[in-house]
Structure 1
Amino acid sequence: MGLRERTRRAVRAELAELALGLFVERGYERTTVEDITAAAGLSRRSFFRYFPTKEDVLFGDVDDLAEQIAEDIRARPGGEDAWACLHAVLRDWEPRIHAAQRELTGLRLIETTPALRARLHQKRDELRGRIAAALQERPGASLDTFTADLLTAAAGAALDAGARAWLRSDGTADRTELIDQAFTLLTPRL
């Protein structure tokens, strides 16, 4: 990664943290892009070079994560069961997925803000589409589209259930154990 990309990522991360603080302090709906740009010392135009929408300031890393997760899925052994592949990759990626969702404060904000929940669902659908496609592209894979979509949706449900249980524990539960438990409970009988 070159200097320009590292700088871009650093600015995006800084804007995201700043925006999250303003959203928590003022409320998501009452915080404008102008508020964020004023606090950051940027123009409105500059903000939109980093994020296409106000909602995306909390989800900016999802697209990069999706492609990296898809690459990891494609790189798994060809003979590995698709569910085991999803479990291994998503278990490994869960801390980074979690970090991209800005910890407890960000997750609570998303859960209580309809516009952010809607954007989260849209981003998750896009991510799941990439993951399902990657499952089908693995060497030796013979999954049909329906099965790839179903397994990916079930894996997403496992991550969601783990995240909600972690939120209910106020961040004290072991997220990896919750993910493992969810994947075990949902193991398909193919």
Structure 2
Amino acid sequence: MAVEKSLRDHARDAIRDEVMKHAWSLFAEQGFEATTVEQVAASAGMSRRTFFRYFSGKDELVLERLVESGHRIADALRARPADEAAWPALRAAFQETVEVQERYADRSRPLQIMLREEPGVRSVVLERRRQWHAALCPLVAERLPSRGRTRRPDTRADAVTGSALACLEAAQEVWADHPGAQLGQLLDDAMGAVAPLS
């Protein structure tokens, strides 16, 4: 019985992933607001009714993909050498995201603009930032030097994590508006302006 449930879950995940791919292609072409659930469903070869068996709405399509990216960044940070300082480790952890966006720049740029400008996704972007921060902050805390026996609350991991995410977002925004720019270089510039990367 457990195997049957696992196979069913695997099939469900595959369908959800396929629908999300179609949705993000449409978002890149048309924007979030202009893309309807009916268009997403039709593009994925299903009815509107079937779509709602897998997703609660368009917001979930956006948030889930963004949260997945955050998990990959957290995994990359976890895999960095234990003795690497938090700031350069974060820059290295962002590299996969940078490479994916640069590889698919024709789709990634309009999506970055959509996430920045369309009111319909603002709450999703805020939730993405909250979830990424929550996933990365404990991993950053492990890389910070001990403060000894102080009882004062420690804000360092929150500050470092928030600063790194702000640098990534700043680099992505500039990159989206300047097709000739390299995202990796923009991120190096942004993070290097805050603290040394080596």
Task: Find the aligned partners of 2:54 and 2:40 in 1 and give their Cα distance.
Answer: 13
Q: 1:114 aligns with which of 99, 108, 119?
A: 119
Distance 1:109-1:127 versus aligned 2 partners, 3 A rule: same
Contact 1:20/1:58 (<8 A) preserved:
no
Task: Find the aligned partners of 2:94 and 2:137 in 1 and give their Cα distance.
Answer: 13
Please state how far the C-alpha of 1:145 moved relative to its aligned partner: 5.3
Alignment of 1:15 with 2:23, yes or no, is yes
Distance 1:60-1:49 versus aligned 2 partners, 3 A rule: farther
Number of aligned residue pairs: 181
SS at match of 2:161: helix
Normalised by the length of structure 2, the TM-score is: 0.74
Identify the residue that residue 72 of structure 1 maps to in structure 2.
76
Alignment of 1:24-103 (within 5 A): 24=31, 28-29=32-33, 31-96=35-100, 102-103=107-108
Identity %: 29
Distance 1:48-1:7 versus aligned 2 partners, 3 A rule: closer
Aligned Cα RMSD in Å?
3.1
Moved more, 156-165 or 3-12: 3-12
Normalised by the length of structure 1, the TM-score is: 0.77
Alignment of 1:158 with 2:162, yes or no, is no
Structure 1 runs not aligned, ≥5 long: none
Contact 1:51/1:60 (<8 A) preserved:
no
Task: Find the aligned partners of 1:104 and 1:176 in 2 and give their Cα distance.
Answer: 14
Q: 1:173 aligns with which of 153, 173, 181?
A: 181
Task: Find the aligned partners of 1:34 and 1:7 in 2 and give their Cα distance.
Answer: 16
Identify the residue that residue 127 of structure 1 maps to in structure 2.
132
Structure 2 runs not aligned, ≥5 long: 1-6, 148-152
Identify the residue that residue 148 of structure 1 maps to in structure 2.
157
One-letter identity of the residue aligned with 2:37: V
Task: Find the aligned partners of 1:41 and 1:6 in 2 and give their Cα distance.
Answer: 14
SS at match of 1:88: helix
Distance 1:93-1:19 versus aligned 2 partners, 3 A rule: closer
